[in-house]
Homo-oligomer: A and B are copies of this chain.
Amino acid sequence: MSDGTRPHQRRPLAIGLIGVGRLGRIYARDLSSRIAETRLVAIADPLTTLAQEVAEEFGVPRTYPDAYALIEDPAVEAVVIVSPTHSHRDLVIAAAGRGKPTFCEKPPALTLPDVAAMRAAIAHAGSFCQMGLMRRFDPGYASAKRQIESGRIGTPLVFKSTSRDPFPPSLEYADPASSGGLMIDMGIHDFDLARWFMGEVRTVAAIGGTIAYPELATVGDIDNAVASLTFVNGTIGAVDLSRSGIYGYDIATEILGLEGTLRVGYLRETPVMVLTRNSVAHDTVPYFMERFRDAYTLQLQNFARNVLDELPPPVTIDDGLEALRIGVAATRAQQTGMAVTVASV
């Protein structure tokens, strides 16, 4: 993976990776072998067998069962946090306390006070913390952002975004106590895009329910929702979320501007069409790893370059805080049936 520019002619950044679950494992591969600007020098995971297996696979010299020990490791120059969300707050605060540049996967935490605490610690330490919101690094979304900034579609007026998973999560994963629920777990990406493309959100209203997978109701999650957004600048938006995409993983966003419209997203994974009697068909994108494989890598590469070049993070804890705030507001709006002013939550 490369963005096509020449690599930095310097020693790569020594990374400690916290968490090697589904996504963490992908990050391990990226940090160890696909990104020229990084070396993966340590892995922490309470599942020690898993940590050792991943370390062996990617030639990582050290593993820790305790993430705080990894943060203390002097060989670790920067920290990448992909552990479960509930652990983010204390880990980010600890890394900030050690002055180590940190990348933290979304969501920053599940409650606004937790993120406020993270924010305060980062500000106090004057340390570097980049939030993981990978869609901003997807070539499609990045192109849309550039085109909007260049005036290609005039003033953005309406934001629409759809996120769909092809199958429901496990009940354990879906439990809002750990995932934040549909509006936060899945919606945070769309709410972040909403802010990025349009500006701050003023109000959010939402409807939704457990209409596809009744079992999700047992843990208190919903599986389909529509959120309506009004922005501070007077423009409007709609986000629809589904855990019952069925046909595939489908992430699509549209920005309707005064002079044109941009659409980001695609449905076909393999470049082959099958034509049979009265039918033309193709496959779909299986899941987020296939859709955002390059975005994840580009995001980590961007993190490493920002640290090496002493640039500020392009996606900050504040971005994480504000996207979460919309998610919290959307959750409340869906539960109460009333529009919620985002600044009030």
Contact = CB atoms under 8 A, between A and B. Distances in A.
A69 interface: no
Contacts of A147: 272, 274
A228 interface: yes
How many identical chains are in the complex?
A: 4
Interface string A32-47: 0110100000000000
Contacts of A123: none
A110 B261 CA distance: 32
Contacts of A206: 228
A242 B224 contact: no
B260 A247 contact: yes
Interface string A200-217: 000101111101100000
B278 A284 contact: yes
Contacts of A211: 157, 234-236
A77 B183 CA distance: 53
B33 A143 contact: no
A261 B246 contact: yes
B263 A143 contact: no
Chain A interface main SS type: mixed
A253 to B, nearest CB: 9
Given A226-B237, A248-B278, A271 B264 contact: yes
Given A29-B2, A34-B33, A228-B207, A139 B271 contact: yes
Contact of A226 (B143, B238, B263, B338): B238
Contacts of A57: 7, 36
A316 interface: no
A246 B224 contact: no
Contacts of A153: 274, 276
A338 to B, nearest CB: 8
A256 B225 CA distance: 12
A283 B281 CA distance: 9
Chain A interface extent, by class: 35 or more
A322 interface: no
Nearest to A276: B260
A264 to B, nearest CB: 5
B247 A230 contact: no
Interface string A1-44: 11000010000000000000000000001000110100000000
A277 interface: yes
A175 to B, nearest CB: 22
Contacts of A311: none
Contact of A240 (B238, B242, B245): B238
A234 B209 contact: yes
Nearest to A258: B212
A265 interface: yes
Contact of A256 (B143, B244, B271): B244
A69 B174 CA distance: 59
A144 interface: yes
A224 B158 contact: yes
A125 interface: no
Q: Chain B CB within 10 Å — which of A235, A237, A281 has the most?
A: A281
11 contacts: A7-B57, A157-B212, A164-B256, A207-B229, A225-B236, A226-B228, A244-B258, A246-B259, A246-B275, A247-B261, A262-B275
